[in-house]
Amino acid sequence: MKNMKLWLLMILLAVPLLMATAEAAPQGLNTTSNTTVSGPTIPDYTRQDAGGTITTLLVNQSQQTEAWKGYVGNVTGKVALRDSSGYTIYDWNFASIAGEIYASRTNSITWTAVNCTNHTTITSEYSAVNMADSDVDSINKTFNATKHASITVGSLTVENDTCASTATYNGTAQNVNSTARFQEVLLKDTGSNMIYTTILEQDKIGYNTFTYDFQLIVPDSDAAATDTTYYFFAELT
């Protein structure tokens, strides 16, 4: 676990989406607001014990990771018929929100050839974010299940329970299964670009007891001069 810096990046996104068609490839986000928060400040612990004594301390420490950052938020959207300048001739509101939010270190994803990630892609990701498989908070130790709902990516379907997956917390740790809230799945394209994928909910209790439509965690490198950049995409179905 990397622990030189003690912060976790959290971004709140409210995302209005105009999808050209309900079966189009995922598109970039149009965010209306964002807020960043970090981990709590832990006060210093001091004691002043008398000489000649032996003090037993029971320490239960939660160490803030710098290897991951999280994004949570809510989504609104519609299906629209637009021209190349973004002008809309007609649109249709979604009765309910469903679909996925995607994050990747590249914006050149082949959406027509997306499937479960593999060992080669994960190994490449370790190198990119300065992470080792032996780290306590490594990618494999985080996405250590293969239990998730099926995912539709454009015209493709990723079958349930086939990819490395996890589920972020909703006030407490969850059992990772195909009905868990805030599931996250590791996908890739033919170029072995990792795609961190979270399945949209609608107004469900999140990690801090507030309601969100999505929660997503992605790794960050402590070796680079700047924090790792991610491109975000959404698909509403």
3-state secondary structure of 30: coil
**226, part of any domain:** yes
CA–CA distances in Å: residue 135 to residues 62, 110, 142: 16, 30, 10
pLDDT value, residue 25: 80
Length of the chain: 237
Evaluate if residue 76 carries a pLDDT over 70: yes
Residue 192 lies in a domain: yes
For residue 212, which amino acid is it?
Answer: Y
Mean pLDDT of all residues in 214-223: 92
Query: Residue 100 in contact with residue 197, Cβ under 8 Å?
Result: yes
- What domain range is 21 assigned to? 10-39+67-236
**Residues 82-115 pLDDT 10s:** 898 989 999 998 888 899 999 999 999 999 999 9
Residues whose CB falls within 8 Å of the CB of residue 140, separated by 6 or more in sequence, listed in order: 122, 133, 164
Residue pLDDT, tens place only, 163-197: 999 999 999 999 999 999 999 999 999 999 999 99
| Whether the predicted pLDDT of 146 surpasses 50 | yes
What's the 3-state SS for the chain?
CCCCCCCCCEEEEEEEEEECCCCCCCEECCCCCCCEECCCCCCCCCCCCCCCCCCCCCCCCCCCCCCEEEEEEEEEEEEEEECCCCCEEEEEECCCCCEEEEEECCCCCCHHHCEECCHHHHHHHHHHCCCCCCCCCCHHHHCCECCCCCEEECCEEECCCCCCEEECCCCCCCCCCCCCCCEEEEEECCCCCEEEEEECCCCEECCCCCEECEEEEEECCCCCCCCCCCEEEEEEC
97 domain residue, yes or no: yes
Domain count, the chain: 1
Which uninterrupted H or E stretch holds 124? helix 119-128
Region 31-49 average pLDDT: 80
Q: Is 123 domain-assigned?
A: yes
What are the pLDDT digits (tens) for 10-34? 444 444 444 444 456 888 877 766 7
| Whole-structure pTM value | 0.85
Q: Is residue 57 part of a domain?
A: no
Contacts of 82 (CB under 8 A, 6+ apart): 18, 20, 88, 89
Would residue 171 be called left, alpha or beta, if left means φ above 0 and alpha means ψ between -120 and 50 degrees? left
Residue 98, domain member (yes or no): yes
* Confidence at residue 196, expressed as pLDDT on a 0 to 100 scale: 99
Asked if pLDDT for residue 124 goes beyond 90, the answer is yes
Classify residue 74: in a domain, yes or no.
yes
- Which residues face 216 on adjacent strands? 71
Average pLDDT over residues 229-235: 94
Whole-angstrom CA distances from 188 to 35, 144, 156, 165 are 29, 17, 13, 13
> Is 22 domain-assigned?
yes
